Amino acid sequence: MYEERLVEFSRERLDGRPIPDGLRVLLVAQWEGRTDFTRLLGLDFFEAGEVHPLLDTSYLSEKELADPEMQAANAAAAEMSEYVKLVAKGGKGWIGYWLHPGEPADRAWRLLELDTEFSFWRLVGLTLAEGAAAEQASYQDEPDERIAFRQLATELAELGLPLSTHDYDALDDTEYRVDPEKLMEELVEAEREKRGLR
């Protein structure tokens, strides 16, 4: 029923890559108007045509857009958008995947969060639902995030989206091979050098 929308979402957000199963479940739930996952995970998936946050310059004035420093930052952000595949609003800003070619191809896609100050954060977990649940665990009424995560994992499983673990401490916490924050800094510096700003 939603195959065309899923294909379009994949093309627009993931460069045509296959949509992970958990993401598929969450997307269909949102398109069906279900709020159960949104309530638990705090995710609002992008609709067709929404601009990638790293490419959005609509909030900048003409003067800012003409500034060479800003142009360097925007060019670096545009290059980063090739690897930062954001799929939803949530958490500190936006959530998605870090798909840099330097990351291992034989494992789950690395999770990533971009905040509204354009800083990158690594999320734990093997799936988007795990990463979002781990993030949400610290915002629950339950002060112990381990207990809060277990409760969220149980609720998600009851809704048909089981996580790989109910144990917060067992969530995948593998470091990136290519650090997004460092790469962004390197790209900005390269763009500044192109513009004679060094």
Nearest to 86 by CA among 175, 77, 106, 187: 77
CA 188 to each of CA 85, 182, 184, 193: distance values in angstroms, whole numbers, following the listed order: 19, 10, 6, 9
- In angstroms, the CA 28 to CA 24 distance is 6
Least confident of 13-17, 19-23, 47-51, 140-144: 140-144
Band of pLDDT at residue 1, cut at 50, 70 and 90: confident
Above pLDDT 90, what percent of the chain?
Answer: 92
Residue ranges with strand state E in the chain: 44-45, 84-90, 93-98, 110-115, 120-122
Q: Which amino acid, residue 113?
A: E
pTM (2 d.p.): 0.93
CA count, 13 A, side-chain hemisphere, 102: 10
If pLDDT is split at 50, 70 and 90, which confidence band does 198 have? confident
Give the model's confidence band at 103: pLDDT under 50 very low, under 70 low, under 90 confident, else very high.
Answer: very high
Q: CA 170 to CA 192: how far, in whole Å?
A: 42
DSSP states of 18-70: PPPHHHHHHHHHHHTT--HHHHHH--EEPPTTPPPTTT--TTS-HHHHH-HHH
Residue 143: predicted pLDDT: 87
Per residue in 48-73, pLDDT tens? 999 999 999 999 999 999 999 999 99
Per-residue pLDDT at 142: 84
**Residue 150 pLDDT greater than 80, yes or no:** yes
Q: How confident is the model at residue 109 (pLDDT cuts 50, 70, 90)?
A: very high
Q: How far is CA 178 from CA 70, 122, 142, in A?
A: 24, 12, 34
pLDDT number for residue 68: 95
The pLDDT mean for the chain works out to 95
Burial of residue 160 (CB within 10 Å: 0-12, 13-18, 19+) is exposed
